[in-house]
Structure 1
């Protein structure tokens, strides 16, 4: 009896794992195709270094619908233009005189700090379009880029911070706090910038994951309905499949305990020959039939040949509008929220499989 429930658990976990991998694959393809991860990072850098867009609004939308509906398709791409050249060997000083700007109350100079940062990072870029594809900046690389910008200014860190304050860059306040904490020690300042940026990336990753989980949930619901995956019905199918195989094994061992189940199974499937019925059932376990109720299913001929696609629109729609399947659909959608890594870990624990380093 324990093995029956173990088989049920493994079958359900494996089904959830396969669907979670499919959801993750679709989500990753969507993110890579639209460059969402890269745009999200550079939108944050625009807000941090330049203080938002030219309209005075944040580059990162505040609503999830805008993050995945506006940010990917906006004409104002926050990413700098890609440059195939290596980083310039000499960093030009920032063309700002803070004393003149503050004394004359002149308009804030148009200095693209994000572009200046990119010039120090473009060596890790990949040519995949007109815009940069950098979606992850190592903290030590960011701190190195800041130190290169510092070295270009006559006043060092103080000179750079003064110019950032003159152009109203939000980065000025962050660097000012790190510089005071470092007590004018350049090595401590670099370590402080690295630590600060690492914390910012962790915070940004958490924000991105909160946005992505809603997209993953929407994809999970869509794929659950598209494949008509009723977890409760699938669990019952696994139990029936296990019981039928146990009956066949009992008959093969000389017992007639499973004969009734075999006759019922074969008569329900319309098979005249028990041998044909057993062969078909054993070669088509419940896992193979997991997507049989999808709007389009794949059938492999028993005698061999090329697989064929079958349109199941009518049956699929009847299942979709049947309230009895809704709890199973809900259970499947909720299970997919845990993600493929979670179900892979559960599967390893159930099967006793251990990774070897």
Structure 2
């Protein structure tokens, strides 16, 4: 059953889908340029090996710039000290061989990390020792108690230690994934707020325009019905730039941008102040919508179309990634 309310909701959701796709492409480009995933992984390893107190040593603007230009020392492993177990493990050939020079892998399999960890300990303190002997030589009480607890009453050899490290690594990486997801959502909000201000994507004003302009609303609904999910989002910066260009071109077809009709024909301190407040609310609403991610809005458009009586009911299983790309056709006839 068709309804003007649902048409406006579909048009607004479709617009938020385009904004979130643009923000996701921008966020992926930023993460790729500054190696954000690798940096979060390093923070997780520091936490895992009970060296989280030295995290401030690997942060700062200078390391970020070094990582941007793929320079050596961008992760500040040298600042961790000669006795740092994290620094030695992350410099192990098994791990450095997974990334290009000046970079660090953004993902390390648990088996590889566990083997690099045990290999580092045996290289430091000699082979043939028990797991307890190797761990006690490190001098890190928190790490020793954690891994010995995971080993339990079983054999105390290096193989058992490797299994314990693998289990501990998988457990910590699950938490790291949650950290990165929350951080990515916050970055999406900031990027969305930036685009909302620069392009004047005012959710309140756009809603009003869709409510009064039936032709624009019908056109957006028609485009939403033909939108199809594309392949997973590109990871190459050039492809990310192309994806962002497509979404920017789509948004330029909408009744957004400067100068804003909200500020047309008003004068006086209070009217201008009220207009600015409403504009800020509209921009923040747009940024919040972008932070929800493109899969949320793609599924939302699908459910609204199904409720409206057009289109096919979407599958129950949704994509977990927050940056799934969707090809949005141009509004130009």
TM-score by length of 1: 0.59
Partner of residue 113 from structure 2, selected from 131, 134, 142: 142
1:228 paired to 2:220? no
Partner of residue 155 from structure 1, selected from 129, 153, 165: 129
Partner of residue 59 from structure 1, selected from 55, 59, 69: 55
Partner of residue 72, structure 1: 64
How far apart are 1:13 and its partner, in Å?
Answer: 1.0
Larger Rg: 1
How far apart are 1:211 and its partner, in Å?
Answer: 3.5
The count of residues paired between Structure 1 and Structure 2 equals 260
Larger % of helix: which? Answer: 2
The one-character-per-residue Cα deviations of 1:236-276 (angstroms, maximum 9, x if unpaired) are: 33233326898xxxxxxxxxxxxxxxxxxxxxxxxxxxxxx
Contact 1:224 1:332 (C-alpha < 8 Å) held by counterparts: yes
Instruction: State how far apart, in whole Å, the 2-side matches of 1:68 and 1:242 are.
Output: 51
Partner of residue 40, structure 1: 40
Instruction: State how far apart, in whole Å, the 1-side matches of 2:303 and 2:188 are.
Output: 25
Contact 1:229 1:329 (C-alpha < 8 Å) held by counterparts: yes
Partner of residue 114 from structure 1, selected from 86, 103, 115: 86
Partner SS, residue 155 of structure 1: coil
The one-character-per-residue Cα deviations of 1:69-126 (angstroms, maximum 9, x if unpaired) are: 5763589743659xxxxxxxxxxxxxxxxxxxxxxxxxxx933423432315336523
How far apart are 1:12 and its partner, in Å?
Answer: 1.0
Instruction: State how far apart, in whole Å, the 2-side matches of 1:212 and 1:244 are.
Output: 33
The one-character-per-residue Cα deviations of 1:40-91 (angstroms, maximum 9, x if unpaired) are: 3224434554836xxxx52158xxxx9685763589743659xxxxxxxxxx
Partner of residue 12, structure 1: 12
Aligned alpha-carbon RMSD (Å): 3.9
How far apart are 1:200 and its partner, in Å?
Answer: 0.8
Partner of residue 256 from structure 2, selected from 293, 300, 304: 293
Instruction: State how far apart, in whole Å, the 1-side matches of 2:36 and 2:216 are.
Output: 49
Moved more, 212-221 or 141-150: 141-150
Partner of residue 204 from structure 1, selected from 162, 176, 195: 176
Contact 2:192 2:291 (C-alpha < 8 Å) held by counterparts: yes
In structure 2, list runs of 5 or more residues that go unmatched: 68-72, 219-249, 265-271, 306-311, 318-333
Instruction: State how far apart, in whole Å, the 2-side matches of 1:140 and 1:44 are.
Output: 16
Distance 1:137 1:60, change over 3 A: farther
Partner of residue 125 from structure 1, selected from 91, 94, 98: 98
In structure 1, list runs of 5 or more residues that go unmatched: 82-108, 247-286, 295-311
Instruction: State how far apart, in whole Å, the 1-side matches of 2:129 and 2:315 are.
Output: 54
